[in-house]
Structure formats: C-alpha cells, structure tokens
A and B are shown apart, each in its own frame.
Chain A
Amino acid sequence: MSEVQVKAQTTPDPGIWVDQHGDYLFKYALFRLRDATAAEDVVQETFLAALKGYEKFEGRGSERTWLVGILKHKITDHFRRMSREAPIGEQSDDGPEHREFFRAEGEEWTGHWALDHAPTDWHASPAELVEQSDFFRVFNDCLSPLPQRTASAFTLREIDGLSSEEICDTLSISVNNLWVMLHRARLHLRNCLERNWFKREPR
C-alpha cells in the first residue's frame, strides 16, 4: 500500500462529516445552550478541534460518540466564557418566584398552596411519559420562558445528571444560587406541565 492510500484512509472528509453529524451535534448543543448562534459556534469549534486531533481518535469507538465528547467540553467552555463576560450580579434573574402559587399574607392558611395552583394527581409513570414524544415538546416549550442560565442549570442537573459541584464550577455560581435556580425552575416547570400536558384547568 502506498503512502497516499494510507493518508486517504486516516483523514476524514470534513464535508461529509458535517453532513453526517452536524445536525445531531447542533440539536445536542441547542437543547443545552438554548441559543442557535451559540450552538452553531460550539459545533464549529467541535469540528475544528476534531480535525486537529484526529490522530487521537484512532478509530476507537464510534466517530459520533467521540465528537459528542468534544462537544461537551466545548459547551462547558462556552458557559465559562459566558459567566466571565457577564458575571452574575445581585440583580440577576434566576427565574420567576411564583408567589401566586401560594396563599398571600392575610389569607387563611398563608403560605400554603393556593387552590388553583395546588398539585393534582398526574396518574402517569415515567415509563409512560417517555413513550410520548409530545411530552418533550411541551417540556421544551415550558423551559423556554425561563432565563437561559436557569434553564441550562436545570438541563445540566436533571438531564445530564451533573453534580451540584460540577454545575457551580461550569456556571461560576455559588451552590446556594444553584439551589434557588433549580427550585424556581422546578416550581415553574411542574406547574407548566400540569397545565399544558395534563391539561388541568385552574380551579
């Protein structure tokens, strides 16, 4: 085998790469970053890094898994860059507090659930929900109104299963700040899913 042939086999064709994996990586990044421009940028950075470091891949495992591994790092880098550029000030928005879910001061049972926002029985198991692709569309719509950073913190925690420490490090926030963000995201999402997926009308 001549040297030229060996080279042809070990260097990927970037054009085909982008066609094969571009959309997949873009969706992966978009879901976590919730910003199309930023998602395009990290996908581009991923391909560039992959091309540069192709000899490190050596055909171990699938090309896509390898690319996703690089993408995860690029997503983390993006979050770091963002928090350097716009550090969280005291006035930063962690998401809605949703005080209206609870009975106001002066009412009977102040601080307990307001009747029209109290949770109801969903009668649904995760195994059933996972089969309904519509559930994720509703979930995604519910996540959208949250501040980007809060939505990302929620995604990293509940979907990627990162630990609190890892998320605080990535987003450069304190653990108390993370807990507030997660709590607000959960309060908002649970209610939004109940209204829009389980179709419960306010009482």
Chain B
Amino acid sequence: MSSIKVELKQCEIDKIKEICQSFNNEPGELINVLHKAQGHFGYLPAEVQEEIALELKISVAKVYGVVTFYSFFTMLPKGLHPISICTGTACYVRGAEKVLDEFKRILNIQVGDTTKDGRFSLSCLRCVGACGLAPVVMIGEKVYGRVSPDGVKDILNEYS
C-alpha cells in the first residue's frame, strides 16, 4: 500500500501510452506492460496503475491485484542501492536473520521499505545460488559473502 502522491507529467503519461501500445493495448499483456513500466519508472505508483488500466481497458482493481500478487512488482520506489538479503536454506541456517536484523536496526526501516532519503531499500530473497558464501547479501549487483552482523556497518559505509 503506497501513501505517495504522484502527479504524472504529460511525457510520463505518453510513455505509459507508448508501452501499452507496444503490446497492442491487449489486456492479456498486463504483466508484460507492468514489467516494462516498472523498468522505466522504477516502481508502480497508483497513478501509473490507473493510466495502465485506462489504456488496456481493464479495471484498476485488477491491475492492483496483479501488482500485489507478484513480489517483483513494487509500489514503493526502490532505493538508490537496493539491498537484498538471501534467506534461503543455507544462508538462513548460517545466521541470515541476525544480519537482516542488523540492517533493519541501522537503517531503521522494515523489509520492503525504503529509507527516507531514498538511498537504501531492504528486501529478502530466496537463494541466489551462492550457498558456499552463506550468508549472502546483494546490494545492487554486488554480492557480499560470509556477511556477519558486525560487518554490516562497514558494508553500508561503502555507500556513503
């Protein structure tokens, strides 16, 4: 649920129209349209969903239903540095939860949220496939292995 109010500029509305057009405004292409739209805007605020609903001629409720069903789609802008903590089996067993708690403590946000200054957002992943390096944390495309709760501060400092 988003509480951010966005005023779409005309060029942004045109971009959404363009994305929908590239799929022939087919209602069945909703997921692809949302994917592309999120790729462009970084997230899917309510206003973007409304515009997509108008263009594809489906109800806003249905668009919202698809957005909330898939964890990939987000209504909150991701941070400049998106942090993903692997909570797959190996990482979990090797203390991923404590690492997560430390990130939450230092950044003062919950999982799924973004820091107020927009620099970091926090999410959990299932198994990135680097179990030998457990516990694993990814920030953007960079992979950190054998992360300990004590090491979280230093990792974050790399991004200041």
Whether chain B is bound by chain A comes out as no
